[in-house]
């Protein structure tokens, strides 16, 4: 189960052109913003990547607005963010701080989310894929990506499960604030 002290959120390529290319892109952006708001409120480290932003645009505004001001966005051209030195260095720094759970979401499920998650699993992290904050342009590729992720050892979850696992109890001091995100 997810734990605030062990978690890191990784948002993969929730960018203008990728969101508009996916049938469920807007829903994914909204759900990603819920996750980002929650990690900001609970002080859970978050890493954001952008695949070739010169061509695919920046992270969508509603996600950007939900993030903490201290978030660094890592530009990439590799499909697995783990190949990018800045991403790998940040992950290693967080691992040294005792973070062992990676909650991952983004676009495209069957490419960048899949390859990044697979590399993180091979590095010994518990990886939780938030399926309602992931998308692909094609439904079959999305489903196949999730199936492969599960075969590789990722846990498949959704936004509300993640939020309530982090909170653990309705007595958590931030419960009402986070509850408003899903109403």
Q: What confidence tens digit (pLDDT) does each residue in 121-153 have?
A: 999 999 999 999 999 999 999 999 999 999 999
87: nearest Cα among 36, 137, 123, 133: 123
Indicate which residues carry an active-site annotation.
13, 76, 112
Q: What is the CATH number of the domain that holds 124?
A: 3.40.50.850
pTM for the full predicted model: 0.98
Nearest 5°: CA angle at 143, between 59 and 113?
35
- Taking phi over 0 as left and psi of -120 to 50 as alpha, with beta for the rest, 168 belongs to left
Q: Which domain holds residue 16?
A: 4-182
Domain count for the chain: 1
What confidence score (pLDDT) does residue 69 get? 87
């Amino acid at each position: 189960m997810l734990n605030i002290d062990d978690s890191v959120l990784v948002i993969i390529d929730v960018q203008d052109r990728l969101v508009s290319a996916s049938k469920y892109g807007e829903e994914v952006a909204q759900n990603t913003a819920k996750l980002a708001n929650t990690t900001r409120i609970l002080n859970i480290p978050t890493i954001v990547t952008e695949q070739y932003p010169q061509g695919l645009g920046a992270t969508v505004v509603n996600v950007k607005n939900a993030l903490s001001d201290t978030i660094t966005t890592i530009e990439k051209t590799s499909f697995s963010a783990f190949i990018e030195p800045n991403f790998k260095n940040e992950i290693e720094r967080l691992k040294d701080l005792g973070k062992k759970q990676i909650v991952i979401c983004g676009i495209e499920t069957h490419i960048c989310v899949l390859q990044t998650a697979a590399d993180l699993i091979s590095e010994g992290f518990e990886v939780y894929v938030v399926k309602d904050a992931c998308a692909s342009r094609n439904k079959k590729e999305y489903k196949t990506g999730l199936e492969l992720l599960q075969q590789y050892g990722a846990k498949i979850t959704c936004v509300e499960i993640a939020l309530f696992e982090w909170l653990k109890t309705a007595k958590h001091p931030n419960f009402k604030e986070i509850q408003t995100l899903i109403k």
